Chains A and B, each alone.
Chain A
Amino acid sequence: MDWYPLWNSLRIAAISAVIVFFAGIFAAYYIAKLPRGLKGLLDALLTLPLVLPPTVVGYLLLCLLGPRRPLGAWVLDTFGLRLTMTWWSAIFATTVVIFPLMYRTARGAFEAFDETLADAGRTLGRSNTYIFWRIRMPCCRQGILAGVVLAFARALGEYGATSMIAGYTPGRTATISTTVYQLWRTNDDGLAMRWVLVNVAISAVVLLAVNLLERRSREGR
């Protein structure tokens, strides 16, 4: 059994989870401070990938990043770099698809945060950076952690947009989900089932880890 799809899926999910961790927190923090109208608009826009079919997300991404599309053509001309059909092309797809999960859980966590703690930090002379990383984030860590793990797990299972933007090339762009589809299409049921079990096992471990972490952070208090 060729383990490449496992390795590829894990690195794509991990990288996009890291990107989304910062982007989601940043967006959640700053959008909460905007005036109501603008906030509603941005909120809807950033949550859209959660409800759109992944194929639509894939299509829109191809419209932007395809080799004959504005951004894709420019990158190809300037850096000689093709943005589609490489292993890391899938990161664009997974990042867009999992962003709303991180953004919404981070926003929920920030909204539950007691602002008097931030006020206390400021009257005690602490900078806004200190308050954000040393007070706000630790107090919201459960929600944020849950968001990251959920986003990671979702990225691991992404199929639609990934298959459109990265395709399926064994040993190059194959992920677990695209491999399962390919194996099922070619009637290789036995191997498909093995990959299914691998996927189920990883997801179960991830979710168990969340429960464990949450329990530990509760007891630590």
Chain B
Amino acid sequence: MALSVQIEKWLGDFHLNAAFETEGETLALLGASGCGKSMTLKCIAGIVRPDRGRIVLNGRVLFDSEQGINLPPQKRRVGYLFQQYALFPHMTVEENIAVGLRTKDRAARKAAVAEKVKTFRLEGLEKLRPCQLSGGQQQRTAFARILASEPEVLLLDEPFSALDDHLRWQLELELMDVLRDFSGDTVFVSHRKDEVRRLCQTVTVLTAGRTDPVTTVRALLERPRTVGEARLAGCRNLSQAERLEEHRIFCKNWGVELETAEAVPGDTAFAAIRDGDIYPASGPDNRIDCRVARVVRDLDTVILMLATPGGSEGHSLLRMELPAAEWEALGCPEALAAAVCPADILLLT
């Protein structure tokens, strides 16, 4: 089981350059909206034609610009779960599932539909139309229809977007069952790291049309390597950085020098600090004297936006979160020294 993708596509100023491989796992394609995630899936499915590249699924070449191969979507055996499921509104649940079937034999079709209805717990809903179903039932119908077409790979395009948290969790549980029973690879597009942690094993981050090398989910969240990865790992403090010495960097946006535990690689371009890794300074080490630019009160904590001495306003503010009691104990000062442990500075390319 393997999917290998290496494609390029130009759309006006936008340049999509995606390259990744899967081998029997669920790969997360993470990225902010508008970075080309859906476009990548559409290229794999054959809905959009890439300008250059090669797509191979289980040894079958689906697309190769050099050899002039471009299989139509009908022949690719790619199961595509669209954002709003794209169920056919004029057909019943049964009819929707039957659209995916490849056999022409009437008895076999009937049996296959009945089997999918049972697997996806759609009994009693066979004659209903999509608009009469709940969100969960719609998703199950969509999966029943996709799996009826016997795909070799599943492409899931943000299946939980536009859902409230409760329903989201219900559908995530359903999706886990589907993925457990599906033998092929899966590409899961998302912009939420919590879903990815639970559903995927490997991940690649798509930033402005470019994919980062595939890594494991654990590695990405524990030690992001690029700005895109750091953002998705939850780092909100990001600055351009340059190497000064082996263990010293200069953070341009904050205008401060910081000491790092890690030896600074030559290609370091950015530094990131997680919200929770910034705390009020107690000594001179890695100390940043800040002015408190903004105080946002959360339920039991306060979020401080700190202006650094050499930094400009706006995006260069540091974000620190403190328990409300600790903030009161400090006396709600206008100036505050922040510190960060050298081991908590993430060096990014």
Contact = CB atoms under 8 A, between A and B. Distances in A.
Contact of B99 (A119, A124, A138, A221): A124
A123 B80 contact: yes
Given A124-B145, A125-B149, A119 B86 contact: yes
A121 to B, nearest CB: 7
Contacts of A127: 74
B253 to A, nearest CB: 41
Nearest to B90: A138
Interface in A13-58: none
Nearest to A127: B74
A113 to B, nearest CB: 11
B82 A119 contact: yes
Contacts of B72: 122
Contact of B74 (A117, A122, A138): A122
Q: Give the interface SS of chain B, mostly helix, strand, loop or mixed.
A: loop
Contacts of A120: 80, 82, 86, 88
Interface residues of A, number: 17
B103 to A, nearest CB: 11
B156 interface: no
A139 B90 CA distance: 7
Given A122-B74, A124-B99, A124-B145, A116 B82 contact: yes
Interface string B56-79: 000000000000000011111111
A206 interface: no
Interface in A119-141: 119-127, 135, 138-139, 141
A220 to B, nearest CB: 8
A117 B129 CA distance: 15
Contact of B79 (A119, A123, A135, A139): A123
A125 B78 CA distance: 9
Given A116-B82, A123-B47, A123-B73, A221 B129 contact: yes
Contact of A124 (B47, B100, B131): B100
B273 to A, nearest CB: 41
Interface residues of B, number: 27
Contacts of A141: 90
B346 to A, nearest CB: 39
A114 interface: yes
B47 A122 contact: yes
A116 B86 contact: yes
A213 B118 CA distance: 35
Contacts of B276: none
B28 interface: no
Interface string A99-123: 0000000000000001011011111
A12 B77 CA distance: 49
Given A126-B74, A221-B131, A121 B99 contact: yes
Contacts of A117: 86, 88
B80 A139 contact: no
A119 to B, nearest CB: 5
A114 B130 CA distance: 15
B84 interface: yes
A122 B82 contact: no
B82 A124 contact: no
Interface string B81-117: 0101010111000000001101000000000000000
B90 A116 contact: no
Contacts of B30: none
B256 to A, nearest CB: 49
26 contacts: A116-B84, A119-B45, A119-B73, A120-B80, A121-B88, A122-B46, A122-B73, A122-B74, A123-B45, A123-B46, A123-B79, A124-B99, A124-B100, A124-B145, A124-B146, A124-B149, A125-B75, A126-B99, A138-B90, A139-B88, A139-B89, A139-B90, A141-B90, A221-B90, A221-B129, A221-B131
Report, nearest first, the 8 A-B pairs whose CB atoms are least far apart.
A122-B73, A120-B86, A138-B90, A123-B80, A124-B100, A116-B86, A119-B47, A124-B149
Interface of A: 114, 116-117, 119-127, 135, 138-139, 141, 221
